[in-house]
Structure 1
Amino acid sequence: MILPTKHLRKDRAILSVGGEILSQLDEPYTVSELWERVRRARNGSFAVTLTFDWFILALSFLYAVSAIDFADGVITASTR
């Protein structure tokens, strides 16, 4: 689930989705703004459609490994 396997495509792995999220965090965004940015960025590729629950799983993973911060209703890339 976190890493791609022979049964889980690379574009569905939580680590890959997390990378896509981090690439969109050039400034602070709310969850809904970030969701829209990631969906728009993914539309042009051949990736599998990203569901909101998979997006939230990736956000939770990024927060757990201290890659992102959440404060005052916005998400930012961690500076640690």
Structure 2
Amino acid sequence: MITPTRSIAPDRALLSVAAQILLQLEAPRTISQTWVRLKSWRSDNGFGSPIPFGWFVLALDVLYAMDALILVDDLLMRRTENAS
């Protein structure tokens, strides 16, 4: 589930989706803005398999657990070295 397996394609593994989410966060965004941008980005880049919202939330959980993401005033942001 977190990494690709026989039943989970590489583009749907949670680590892959998490990386794709980070690409959408060049600026702080709401969760819904990030979701819309991710779906659009995946479509524009030829990822045919859709990602359900629940999978998106699990990928956000992975990023949060890895301390790569923070939520401030309802905005998702990449964690930087300077962030506390």
AA matched with 2:25? L
Distance 1:74 1:59 in 2: 13
User: What does residue 10 of structure 1 align with?
Assistant: 10
Distance (Å, rounded) in 1 between the aligned partners of 2:13 and 2:24 = 17
Whichever residue aligns with residue 55 of structure 1, its letter is F
- Code of the residue aligned with 1:62 in structure 2: it is L
Partner of 2:41: 41
RMSD of equivalent CA atoms = 0.9
- Residues 20-60 of structure 1: per-residue CA shift (max 9 Å, x gap): 00011100000000000000001121331011000000001
Structure 1 runs of 4+ aligned residues shifted over 6 Å read none
Measured after TM superposition, the shift of residue 12 of structure 1 is 1.0
Aligned residues: 80
- Bigger share in helix: 1
2:72 corresponds to: 71
CA distance in 2, matches of 1:62, 1:47: 23
Query: What is the one-letter code of the residue matched to 1:38?
Result: L
1:62 Cα deviation after fit:
0.3
Q: Could you tell me which residue of structure 2 aligns to residue 52 of structure 1? A: 53
Residue number in structure 1 paired with 2:63: 62
